[in-house]
Structure 1
């Protein structure tokens, strides 16, 4: 089954199969770590080992994705400011209130390329907030 949006095509079979393959690989790596470090298989069936594994996986996701998303935001923001402005709109001018970050708030100052870069900047910011919320809620339960 395939869903198509404006410029994005999602193939559910590939998405689910790659997700299941990643879960299988993660499970095998976790089992290997627990067996090698503890020397017994009995620890695999304890709840604290599973919770520690989940916390470790969330930490890895956070430490890998945060710098990536910040870099992605900076890259697309640079492209939006550099190539995405309409003709006659300067980086620092009264139209954007002398603040380049206001290009994110005023899409009328951007051409089609700039609006696409603006959308990608917003996706990066939303994913950053989701990761921060996840870390906040997981960290507050301990």
Structure 2
């Protein structure tokens, strides 16, 4: 069994990156809704906690709508590579071994070669992240 290692510094960098992204979205919103740069600076200095929370939710929503199609494309890309390059010799896409469903390659790793196992891991990671995005969307609304 593989050990699961959590890279805390990498997670910290991603959280800092999201905070910077939220700050940029807040600045862009201030500049867009202000008539001049002086007004934007004055509004920026007088932001309330509620306005910052709204800005955070908007940046999270923007992040979700950008990352979901990318994760979907990542899943489709690695799933197609898994189907064409990751199967063992003699295992077809539609056979009794896969129960005539190619999605079952994700459930039965014994039908995959080492490259297919790598592609399967990447597919499952993309699916897990998409599910987490759905949960975040549900929690926001």
TM range (shorter): 0.7 to 0.9
Aligned partners of 2:82 and 2:119 also within 8 Å: yes
Asked if the contact 1:43/1:49 (under 8 Å) is kept, the reply is: no
* 2:30 and 2:44 in contact (8 A); partners too: no
User: Contact between 2:21 and 2:59, CA under 8 Å: does it hold in 1?
Assistant: no
Unaligned runs of 5+ in 1: none
Q: 2:100 aligns with which of 98, 101, 110?
A: 98
**RMSD value over aligned CA atoms?**
2.8
Q: Give the structure with the larger strand fraction.
A: 1
- Consecutive unaligned residues of structure 2, counting only runs of 5 or more, are none
Alignment correspondent of 1:118 = 120
Report the more deviating stretch, 15-24 or 30-39.
15-24
Flag the structure with more relative contact order, 1 or 2, with Cα contacts below 8 A and sequence separation at least 6.
Answer: 2
- Using the TM superposition, name which of 115-124 and 51-60 deviates more: 51-60
Alignment match, 1:27: 23
Residues 70 and 124, structure 1, Cα contact 8 Å, conserved in 2: yes
Once the 2 structures are TM-superposed, how far is the Cα of residue 107 of structure 1 from its aligned partner? 0.5
Match runs of 1:1-142 below 5 Å: 12=9, 16=12, 20=16, 23-24=19-20, 26-27=22-23, 30-31=26-27, 33-34=29-30, 37-38=33-34, 39=39, 40-41=42-43, 44-139=46-141
List, as ranges, runs of 4+ consecutive aligned residues in structure 1 with deviation greater than 4 Å. Answer: 14-19
Mapped partners of 1:42, 1:109: distance in 2: 58
Contact 1:84 1:115 in 2 (8 A): yes
Once residues 15 and 74 of structure 2 are traced to their aligned partners in structure 1, the CA distance between those partners, rounded to angstroms, is 23
